[in-house]
Amino acid sequence: PLSLSHIFNLFLGRNLQPLGKGCQSPDQGLNPGGREVIQNSKEVLSLLQEKNPAFKPVLAVIQAGEDNLMQEINQKLAEEAGLNITHICLPADSSEDEIIDEILKINEDSRVHGLALQISETSFSSKILHALKPEKDVDGVTDVNLGKLVRGDAHDCFVSPVARAVIELLEKSGVNLDGRKILVIGAHGSLEATLQCLFQRKGSMTMSSQWKAPQLQSKLHEADVVIFGSPKPEEVPLSWIQQGTAVLNCSHDFLSGKWLQIGSPGIHGHSLIAEDVSLLAAALRIQNMVGSGRRWLREQQYRRWKLHCLKLQPLSPVPSDIEISRAQTPKAVDVLAKEIGLLEDEIEIYGRSKAKVRLSLLERLKDQADGKYVLVAGITPTPLGEGKSTVTIGLVQAMTAHLNVNSFACLRQPSQGPTFGVKGGAAGGGYAQVIPMEEFNLHLTGDIHAITAANNLLAAAIDTRILHENTQTDKALYNRLVPSVNGIREFSKIQLARLKKLGINKTDPSALTEDEMRKFARLDIDPATITWQRVLDTNDRFLRKITLGRGTQRKAQFDIAVASEIMAVLALTDSLKDMKERLGRMVVASDKNGQPVTADDLGVTGALTVLMKDAIKPNLMQTLEGTPVFVHAGPFANIAHGNSSVLADKIALKLVGEEGFVVTEAGFGADIGMEKFFNIKCRASGLVPNVVVLVATVRALKMHGGGPSVTAGVPLKKEYTEENLQLVADGCCNLKKQIQIAQLFGVPVVVALNVFKTDTRAEIDLVCELAKQAGAFDAVPCYHWSVGGKGSVDLAWAVSEAAHKGSRFQFLYDVQLPIVEKIRTIAQAVYGARDIELSSEAQSKIDRYTEQGFGNLPICMAKTHLSLSHQPDKKGVPKDFILPITDVRASIGAGFIYPLVGTMSTMPGLPTRPCFYDIDLDTETEQVQGLF
Q: Of 756, 797, 809, 811, which is the active-site residue?
A: 756
The rounded distance, in Å, linking the Cα atoms of 434 and 467 is: 47
Q: Of 668, 678, 745, 854, which is the active-site residue?
A: 668
Whether 603 contacts 609, CB under 8 Å: no
305 is catalytic: no
- What does each C-alpha distance from 702 to 443, 690, 727, 732, 869 come to in angstroms? 36, 30, 5, 8, 18
The rounded distance, in Å, linking the Cα atoms of 566 and 759 is: 42
356: β partners: 348, 619
Half-sphere exposure of 39 (CA within 13 A, CB side): 5
* Long-range own/partner contacts, residues 86-95 (CB < 8 A, 24 or more apart): 86/58, 86/59, 86/60, 86/61, 86/112, 87/60, 87/61, 87/63, 88/60, 88/61, 88/62, 88/63, 89/63, 90/62, 90/63, 90/64, 90/65, 91/64, 91/65, 92/64, 92/65, 92/66, 92/120, 94/64
627 is catalytic: no
- Listed in order, strand segments (DSSP E) in 77-213 are 84-90, 114-118, 181-185, 205-209
390 is catalytic: yes
Q: Of 364, 423, 582, 737, which is the active-site residue?
A: 423
Q: Residues 106, 111, 113, 114: what is their CA dihedral angle, to the nearest 10 degrees? A: -40
Backbone φ and ψ of 663, nearest 5°: -115, 115
The rounded distance, in Å, linking the Cα atoms of 287 and 250 is: 18
**CA-atom Rg of the chain in angstroms:** 36
423 is catalytic: yes
**Kind and range of the H or E element at 107?**
helix 96-108
The rounded distance, in Å, linking the Cα atoms of 23 and 244 is: 10
Torsion sign over Cα 198, 202, 205, 210: negative
Q: Of 636, 745, 785, 881, which is the active-site residue?
A: 785
Q: Of 285, 412, 650, 790, which is the active-site residue?
A: 412
Q: Of 388, 534, 699, 737, which is the active-site residue?
A: 388
Q: Helices 819-826 and 840-851, interaxial angle, to 10°?
A: 130
Backbone φ and ψ of 64, nearest 5°: -105, 110
Q: Of 142, 245, 380, 390, which is the active-site residue?
A: 390
388 is catalytic: yes
Q: Of 637, 652, 776, 833, which is the active-site residue?
A: 637
CA 548 to chain centre: 41
259 is catalytic: no
Sort 686 into a burial class: Cβ within 10 Å, 0-12 / 13-18 / 19+. exposed
412 is catalytic: yes
121: β partners: none
What residue type is 327 in one-letter code? A
What residue type is 245 in one-letter code? T
Active site residues per annotation: 388, 390, 412, 423, 637, 668, 756, 785
